[in-house]
Amino acid sequence: MDTNSMAASREQLTINIKEEKMGYDNPAMAYDNSPAMSSNPAVKCRKISNVGTVSQMIEKNTNNGVPHRKESLKAVYVSQPNPIRQTKSEKEYEPYDNRDVKHPTTYFETFIHMLKASLGTGILAMPDAFHNAGYLVATIGTLVIGFLCTYTIHILISAEYELCKRKKQPSMTYPETAEAAFSEGPKPLRYVAKYVPTICNVFLLLYQIGSCCIYVVFISSNIKDVVDQYQAPENRIDIRWYSLFLLTPLILINWVRNLKYLAPLSSIANAVTIFSFGLIFYYMFASVPDIETRQAVAPFKRLPLFFGTVLFAMEAIGVVMPLENEMKNPRKFGSAFGVLNCAMLPITLLYTFVGFFGYLKYGNETKGSITLNLPTDQYLAQAARLMLAFAIFITHALACYVAVDISWREYIEPKVERAKVFWEYLVRTVLVIITFTFAVAIPDLELFISLIGAFCLSTMGLSFPAIIQLCTYWNEYNGLQFIFFFLKNLTICLIATFGFIIGVTTSVEGIIEKFFLQKE
């Protein structure tokens, strides 16, 4: 047998097995007593049964003219991956195990924070939301929107976790998650990925400023209702003057640069809020009218106001990711009995409860905040108004702090080299003046709440999480799974877009008609 024939025979004996699942290319080691075979303890071997056939073939092909060399083929082996050789760096990155939080929060602490973030002025507007939809439509709609808000938060958190694993980062903010998702989505969206964080920050900033505007209107309205009881009708002043009187105190409290100094006032505000809600429930359940006197289904033209109000009331998308990132055990945030589900269930039921019975009590007389429906000549009702006004005054500083954090620390501070403290105070002052200006221009709680809910929260709370999930898992599904995945997120985006268009349009039309068109 010549050399070429021997080489050809040996080529036939080469076995290459690729373990694709494990990521190993394992060549089969044939005849010859290979030292690498016997000396490598990290290789676990599997014996192939047709060794005799291979040995006979080698013997048969040994011919005259070539010195006979006994080929001692004892076995053919295939190396297997050994877990011992897998180092820690080769294992899948686990974001939760790599988070370094200085003061992590427990399950219960995060649960309380979630409740506080969701229970604000929005719950006081729920009776008005039911008035705009009718008690039957509003009850079903509130439960559906509550489920939808909870689900979109779930998909946002899961997308953040998946992107953290891919990018090997312990945590991400909302804008960072959106940018990472767009960079891995369909090719047309990858080109705009670098602009997505700015878009997210703009919507978050508008939401916080809009919330602060609502707070100014709320405080002014409730103080005016109390003061008017002690003045003659001809001496009563417009609500805008009360907003002007609030401007200086609001600027001063927003000059507090550290939230630690607001903590005592915040604790007092929480206490008076609970007491005020007790008084509101007392009046709400006093002599409740028959349900037959209320509308089950309201005219369709008012339904967009319901959508925007409920979104503003229930959505807490701005605080969800910071809360999850600060947890001691973040796996318990989005689990079946985690913080999110256990918080959103009672929140949804409570909002439905307050909206239903508030509308049942006041009917077509329901106002933008249920506090404005309380008796004006009773001391307890006046106390509830003033205490809630104080609580929302403190909340204004907390909400404006987020707006300062976005505008100052993200965009302005990096460009300022001198007198940074002065410029920070200037930014804080300008933001308060902006909230005051819009509150004076549109001093109507119902229209303002609906506008902010439809404009900001239909995007940040519904459509953006659906788009982020779509981009994150764009290459993970095939066939019918992909079609279902795509249609599900498309449906959420269409609902959000529909709510955005009709909600903003209806609110803007109402604002123009009420404040900017001359009455005949």
Q: Are 48 and 109 in contact (CB under 8 A)?
A: no
Query: C-alpha dihedral over 390, 395, 401, 402, to 10 degrees?
Result: -160
Same domain membership, residue 148 and residue 9: no
Total count of domains within the chain: 2
Task: Give the DSSP H or E segment for 16.
Answer: strand 16-19
Q: Are 387 and 273 in contact (CB under 8 A)?
A: yes
The pLDDT of residue 102: 82
Task: Give the DSSP H or E segment for 18.
Answer: strand 16-19
Report the alpha-carbon distance of residue 461 to residue 496 in Å, rounded.
Answer: 9
Same domain membership, residue 53 and residue 196: no
Chain position carrying tokens 């953040």: 160
For 54, the 3-state DSSP assignment is helix
Please, what is the Cα angle at 201 between 199 and 204, to 5 degrees? 110
For residue 48, the one-letter residue type is I
Q: Token pair for residue 246?
A: 């609030």
Q: Minimal CA–CA distance to 499: which of 465, 464, 466, 450?
A: 450
Please, what is the Cα angle at 90 between 85 and 92, to 5 degrees? 130
Report the alpha-carbon distance of residue 285 to residue 457 in Å, rounded.
Answer: 31
Residue 210 φ/ψ region, left for φ over 0, alpha for ψ in the -120 to 50 degree band, beta for the rest: alpha
Same domain membership, residue 370 and residue 305: yes
Q: What is the SS3 string spanning 62-113?
A: CCCCCCCCCCCCCCCEEEECCHHHCCHHHCCCCHHHHCCCCCCECHHHHHHH
Report the alpha-carbon distance of residue 339 to residue 517 in Å, rounded.
Answer: 47
236-294 pLDDT tens trace: 999 999 999 999 999 999 998 887 788 788 888 888 988 999 999 999 998 889 999 99
Same domain membership, residue 101 and residue 34: no
Same domain membership, residue 178 and residue 81: no
End-of-domain residue from the set 72, 90, 108 = 90
For residue 318, the one-letter residue type is G
Q: Is 253 exposed, middle or buried (0-12, 13-18, 19+ CB in 10 A)?
A: middle
Same domain membership, residue 237 and residue 201: yes
Chain position carrying tokens 């993970």: 476
> Could you tell me how far CA 358 lies from the centroid of its own chain?
29
CA distances to 38, 72, 80, 155 from 47, rounded to whole Å, are: 14, 16, 11, 48
N- to C-terminal Cα distance for the chain?
113
CA distances to 202, 267, 403, 456 from 406, rounded to whole Å, are: 9, 25, 5, 16
The stretches in the chain having pLDDT less than 70 are 1-90, 518-520
Same domain membership, residue 507 and residue 421: yes
End-of-domain residue from the set 90, 122, 157 = 90
CA pseudo-torsion sign 453, 457, 463, 466: negative
DSSP state of 519: P
Domain coverage including residue 124: 95-516
Same domain membership, residue 205 and residue 68: no
Beta carbons within 8 Å of 408's beta carbon, 6+ residues apart: 424, 427, 428
Same domain membership, residue 35 and residue 116: no
Report the alpha-carbon distance of residue 9 to residue 15 in Å, rounded.
Answer: 13
Predicted TM-score of the model (pTM): 0.77
Same domain membership, residue 72 and residue 113: no
Beta carbons within 8 Å of 339's beta carbon, 6+ residues apart: 107, 110, 111, 114, 323, 327, 332, 333
Exposure on the CB side of residue 67, measured as CA atoms within 13 A: 1
End-of-domain residue from the set 40, 67, 90 = 90
Q: Minimal CA–CA distance to 469: which of 455, 487, 456?
A: 487
For 17, the 3-state DSSP assignment is strand
Same domain membership, residue 229 and residue 147: yes
**Other beta carbons less than 10 A from residue 438's beta carbon:** 18
Same domain membership, residue 470 and residue 356: yes
Q: Are 368 and 445 in contact (CB under 8 A)?
A: yes
336-370 pLDDT tens trace: 899 999 999 999 999 999 999 999 999 999 999 99
- Phi, psi of 4, deg, nearest 5: -65, -40
**DSSP string covering 130-156, please?**
HHHH-HHHHHHHHHHHHHHHHHHHHHH
For residue 344, the one-letter residue type is M
Q: Is 365 exposed, middle or buried (0-12, 13-18, 19+ CB in 10 A)?
A: exposed
| Strands 44-47 and 77-80, bridge-based pairing | antiparallel
For 45, the 3-state DSSP assignment is strand
Please, what is the Cα angle at 51 between 46 and 55, to 5 degrees? 145
Q: Token pair for residue 258?
A: 């550290």
CATH code, 247: 1.20.1740.10
The pLDDT of residue 90: 53
Chain position carrying tokens 């809910």: 453
